[in-house]
Amino acid sequence: MQCGGFRISYRSDERIFDTALPIVGVVLLVAALAVVPRFATTYWLDVMNRIGIAIIGALGLNILVGYTGQISIGHAAFLAVGAYATAILEINAGLPFYLAIPLAALIASGFGLVFGIPSLRLKGLYLAIATLAAHFITSYGIIHWESLTKGVLGLMVPPATVFGIPLDSDGRIYYLIFALVIPATFFAKNLFRTKIGRAFIAIRDRDVAAGVMGVSLYRYKLLAFVISSFYAGMAGGLMAHHSRILFPDAFTLLVAIDYLAMIIIGGLGSILGAIFGAVFMTLLPEVLKLSATSLTGVYPNAFGLIASTRDIVFGLAVILFLMYEPLGLARIWLRVRSYWKLWPYAY
Amino acid sequence: MGDQIVFMLQLIITGVAVGGVYSLMALGFVLIFKASSVVNFGPGELVLFGAYIAWATILPMKLPLYVALPLTLVVAILLGLVIERGVLRPLIGEPIISVIMVTFGVASVIRGFLNMTWGSDTRPFPVLFSPEPFHLGPVPVSPVHLWSFVGVLILLAGFSLFFKFSLTGMAMRATADNQQVAQSLGVSVKWVFALSWCIATVVSTLGGIILGSVRGGVDFSLADLGLKVFPVVILGGLDSVAGAIIGGVLIGVLENLSGGYLDPVMGGGVKEVAPFVVLVIILMLRPHGLFGKVEIERV
């Protein structure tokens, strides 16, 4: 009799779901996500929506940084391009959202391609600085190309409509966001079972060796930038429909740093990590807000301190994770899970 | 025609004065990078920290200047030690992304701490120099700019002498050159790492004080100025002290000239973006900058 999980063929080794149980889990999770809007308050729906958008953005960044090893501080710029392209395509070209968002994501990938070109010559630190510069140049463009983006005045985005129903509330836009989160997650998960994904990982681990083994660094580095910025563009398009008004202020360097923090805290090079990180970083300010609300009785000034407390907690979280758990929440999750799997016979 | 030239000279002089401060910040950045290969992505927050501490000791605490300034520098040194000991030493040998992110984390903590203690309002900085401009030929120059430039020159000359002749300075240069050899000759590399952070926080603090008095106030926008360090160090060469100094002045002049001439044409904000355009061009053409060591690996 076979006891324990033996992987005796490559097929079984590559499988996403080893047993039926996780499939049931995923189905239950999707079902639970589908009924959330019936129970959640507007506030929590808004939080859920932002988590969904952050998940897509973080998945994209993790494909680039965590899996391919190309450091990018320009993620906020990709988000901005996606968001503004969606809005402009809908307002000026009159496209419906289901065409505008994919097109905007493609435009963002084009941007990613351009941003990625320095990666062919530059590595590590230099690439990080190049993407930093690209961020500033893009945000300059958005602020000053006023005929298209309305600059600092803000750009109003019309609500997306499906069969004449406007998706103008948090409960309605929720379905659009999670209808994209789920395929985005599955695509990312499957990407790393393919040749392309393996090539990304090989480049991250040792680019010269990957090149010697026949991985075209040129093609795959650019492809990583393209896929990553497609995700970011999609997230940006959803942001445009979620907040319905776009300001350049929503895409500062701090946003790019937030996304990097998501994948560091969640776990570099892990799909689950990107999701955990997105949830963590979105919930962090909300938790602070809630605790400030409960503290106002004792300490009336608590609300004024949210922003600075957030900065401190955020910084400390990044520092402590890097020092004590560089593989992030995903690693903690694995440890907890394997502990309970064998419990109570851990040895 | 004469007005045109005066306008240009004025732009250049302001540019040199601001560029001197960039040189100071870049000096701190390059020292850390040379000694320990750590890139500090929060140089602006160090400047901000220095400026706020200086403001706090001079204005609310009403200490006389000769007590306030040394006290500020002592606090800056402590900050450098805390960052190096507490955060970066445990991460020696970690991948670049970790080191980059941890400096972002440190910057965030500093920003949050300052915001929590003193709030985000603009604080009027003590007026150290008379605001009355004097004339250098036909060009009006404000004393703050002149004195800040003189201050920067003195500091930079002092640091050059320190690196050239003092034992500590030589130890730092040796470590930058080759850590293993330096260690085998009895240089405490750990100490050099700590020292380079302390010097970086000290020069950033001085830069913050100068910037504060040039602008007449401190607020959180000082931190954004810190990011100008990247164009400076890429232009000068990441590991070159001379490059940092020359690059700082060049970038200062360049951003002022481009701001002065292109802003009316392009509708503002050119000053902020021009250094980064230069950065990209340099990275494409000559990634090691003017004076940096050529060690870019092409893959």
The pLDDT tens digits for A96-120 are 888 999 999 999 999 999 888 887 7
Of A130, A140, A315, the CB nearest to B280: A130
How buried is residue A22: exposed, middle or buried, by Cβ count under 10 Å (0-12/13-18/19+)? exposed
The pLDDT tens digits for A250-301 are 899 999 999 999 999 999 999 999 999 999 999 998 998 888 888 877 777 7
- Residue A2's pLDDT band (cuts 50, 70, 90): low
- Residue B13's pLDDT band (cuts 50, 70, 90): confident
Of A253, A307, A322, the CB nearest to B102: A322
Quick one: which of A48, A62, A59 has its CA closest to A170?
A48
**pLDDT score, position B299:** 47
State the nearest Cα–Cα gap between A121 and chain B, in angstroms. 6
State the nearest Cα–Cα gap between B186 and chain A, in angstroms. 29
Q: How far lies B7's CA from each of A74, A84, A266, B139, in Å?
A: 36, 38, 53, 8
**What tokens appear for B243 in the block?**
């490059």
Of B98, B227, B234, the CB nearest to A326: B98
How far does Cα A247 stand from its chain's mean position?
Answer: 20
Q: How far lies B268's CA from each of A4, A293, B19, B275, in Å?
A: 67, 41, 20, 14
- Residue A1's pLDDT band (cuts 50, 70, 90): low
Beta bridge partners of A165: A162
| pLDDT top residue among A85 and A337 | A85
- Residue B131's pLDDT band (cuts 50, 70, 90): low
B130 pLDDT higher than 80: no
Separation of alpha carbons A290 and B64, rounded Å: 44
A331 pLDDT higher than 70: yes
**What tokens appear for A270 in the block?**
């892990």
ipTM confidence: 0.88
Q: In this predicted structure, which of A20-34, A224-238, B84-98, B125-139 has the lowest mean pLDDT?
A: B125-139
Q: What is the four-CA torsion angle of B183, B188, B194, B200, rounded to 10 degrees?
A: -70
Chain B CB within 8 Å of residue A292 CB: no
Whether residue B124 is preceded by a cis peptide bond, meaning omega within 30 degrees of 0, is no
Question: At residue A1, what is the residue type?
Answer: M
B chain contacts of residue A121, beta-carbon cutoff 8 Å: 284, 287, 296, 298
Q: Any residues with CB less than 8 A from the CB of B149 and at least 6 apart, and which?
A: B16, B17, B20
Q: What is the CA radius of gyration of chain B?
A: 19
How far does Cα A309 stand from its chain's mean position?
Answer: 24
Separation of alpha carbons B85 and B76, rounded Å: 14
Q: How far lies B143's CA from each of A58, A208, A263, A266, B51, in Å?
A: 49, 55, 48, 51, 19
Q: Which phi and psi (to 5°) does residue A283 adopt?
A: -75, -25
Q: Which phi and psi (to 5°) does residue B140 adopt?
A: -75, 135
Mutate to test the interface with B, among A323, A324, A327 (most CBs of B within 10 A): A323
The pLDDT tens digits for B74-121 are 999 999 999 999 999 888 888 888 888 999 999 999 999 998 888 777
Q: What is the mean pLDDT of residues A20-37?
A: 87
Separation of alpha carbons B130 and A119, rounded Å: 49
pTM of the model: 0.91
Instruction: Report the 3 state secondary structure along B31-100.
Output: HHHHHHCCCCCCHHHHHHHHHHHHHHHHCCCCCCHHHHHHHHHHHHHHHHHHHHHHHHHHHCCCCHHHHH
**pLDDT score, position B143:** 79
Q: What is the CA radius of gyration of chain A?
A: 21
pLDDT, chain B, mean: 85
**What tokens appear for B164 in the block?**
């050239």
A chain contacts of residue B276, beta-carbon cutoff 8 Å: 132-133, 136-137
Question: Is there a contact between B67 and A227 (Cβ–Cβ < 8 Å)?
Answer: no
B chain contacts of residue A207, beta-carbon cutoff 8 Å: 299
Share of chain A above pLDDT 90, in %: 50
The pLDDT tens digits for A63-100 are 999 999 999 999 999 999 999 999 999 988 888 888 99
- Residue B129's pLDDT band (cuts 50, 70, 90): low
Residue with tokens 């606090």: B75
B268 pLDDT higher than 80: no
Separation of alpha carbons B236 and B156, rounded Å: 15
